[in-house]
Structure 1
Amino acid sequence: MSDETNARFQADHQAWRDPAAVVAQWQDAGAVDSSLLDAEVTGPWWQILAEAGVTLLVSREYEHLLMALSMGSGSPRVSYLRLPHPSGIAFDAACGQVHVASTRNPNVLYTLRPTDRLLPRRDLESNGFAGRVLMPASARFLPGSTYLHDLAMIGPQLHASAVGENAIMAFPAGGDGSRVWWPSCIEGATGADFGLNHLQLNGIAAGESLAESYFTASRDDLVGARPGQIEFAAEGRGVVFSGATRSPMTRGLTRPHSPRFVGGALWVANSGFGSIVDCGQDGSTEVVARLPGWTRGLCAIGDIAIIGTSRIIPRFRAYAPGLDPDECVCGLHAVDVKAGRIVASLIWPSGNQIFAIEAVPSSTIDRLPFEIDRHPDAERTLFYAWQNASSNVGENR
Structure 2
Amino acid sequence: MADPSPTTAPNAEPAELREVRYEHSLSLPELLERLQVSLIVSTYQAGKLIALGSHGGQLTKSFHNFDRPMGVALSGDGDSLAVAARDKVWLLRNDRTVARQLPPAGGVGSCFLTRSASVTGEIQAHEMGWAGDELWVVNTLFSCLVTLDPSYSFVPRWRPSFITELAAEDRCHLNGMAVVDGRPKYVTAMGETNSAGGWREGKATGGLLIDVESNEVVARGFAMPHSPTWHGGCVWLLDSGRGLVLRCDPKTGQVSQVAKLPGYTRGMVIHGDHAFVGLSKIRETSTFGGVPIAADRARLKCGFGIVNLRTGELDAQFEFAAGVDEIFDLEVVPNAASVALRGPFAHNDGEKTIWTVPSPGS
TM-score grouping bracket, smaller chain normalisation = 0.7 to 0.9
TM (norm. structure 1) is 0.79
2:340 is the counterpart of 1:367: yes
Name the structure 1 match of 2:3. Answer: none
* Aligned match for 1:199, one of 172, 197, 202: 172
Q: Deviations over 1:14-57 (max 9, x none)?
A: xxxxxx99x943333x8652x32x22112411111111111100
Distance 1:158 1:331, change over 3 A: same
Give the secondary-structure state (helix, strand or coil) at the position aligned to 2:67. Answer: coil
2:60 is the counterpart of 1:88: no
**Percent identity for Structure 1 against Structure 2:** 24
Name the structure 1 match of 2:11. Answer: 25
The letter for the 1-side match of 2:212 is: G
* Aligned match for 1:138, one of 106, 116, 122: 116
Name the structure 2 match of 1:312. Answer: 282
Structure 2: gaps of 5 or more residues: 1-5
Q: Larger helix proportion, structure 1 or 2? A: 1
Name the structure 1 match of 2:188. Answer: 216
Give the secondary-structure state (helix, strand or coil) at the position aligned to 2:341. Answer: coil
Name the structure 2 match of 1:343. Answer: 315
Name the structure 2 match of 1:249. Answer: 218
Q: Deviations over 1:94-124 (max 9, x none)?
A: 360200000x3xx111011234567xxxxxx
CA contact (8 A) 2:169 2:196 kept: no
Distance in 2, matches of 1:393 and 1:362, equals: 26
Give the secondary-structure state (helix, strand or coil) at the position aligned to 1:357. Answer: strand
Distance in 2, matches of 1:110 and 1:356, equals: 15
Distance in 2, matches of 1:152 and 1:365, equals: 23
| Residues 1-397 of structure 1 aligned to structure 2 (within 5 Å) | 24-28=10-14, 32-33=17-18, 35-36=19-20, 38-71=21-54, 75-94=58-77, 96-102=79-85, 104=86, 107-115=87-95, 129-130=102-103, 131=108, 132-144=110-122, 146-171=123-148, 176=152, 177-187=154-164, 192-210=165-183, 213-222=185-194, 226-227=198-199, 232-281=201-250, 282-315=252-285, 316-318=287-289, 320-323=291-294, 324-350=296-322, 351-363=324-336, 366-369=339-342, 379=351, 382-383=352-353, 385-387=354-356, 392-394=358-360
Distance in 2, matches of 1:377 and 1:237, equals: 41
Larger radius of gyration: 1
Measured on the aligned residues, the alpha-carbon RMSD in Å equals 2.9
Q: Deviations over 1:280-321 (max 9, x none)?
A: 222221111100010001111211111111001110331531
Distance 1:278 1:394, change over 3 A: same
Distance 1:32 1:305, change over 3 A: farther
Q: Deviations over 1:116-137 (max 9, x none)?
A: 567xxxxxxxxx6434432211
Structure 1: gaps of 5 or more residues: 1-19, 119-127
The offset of 1:203, in angstroms, is 0.3
The offset of 1:224, in angstroms, is 8.0
CA contact (8 A) 2:227 2:238 kept: yes
Distance 1:166 1:363, change over 3 A: same
Distance in 1, matches of 2:53 and 2:305, equals: 15
Give the secondary-structure state (helix, strand or coil) at the position aligned to 1:58. Answer: strand
Q: Larger strand proportion, structure 1 or 2? A: 2
Distance 1:87 1:280, change over 3 A: same
The offset of 1:92, in angstroms, is 1.4
The offset of 1:148, in angstroms, is 0.8
Distance in 1, matches of 2:299 and 2:169, equals: 34
The number of residues matched between the two structures is: 343
The letter for the 2-side match of 1:236 is: T
Give the secondary-structure state (helix, strand or coil) at the position aligned to 1:76. Answer: strand
Distance in 2, matches of 1:99 and 1:299, equals: 15
Distance in 1, matches of 2:213 and 2:227, equals: 19
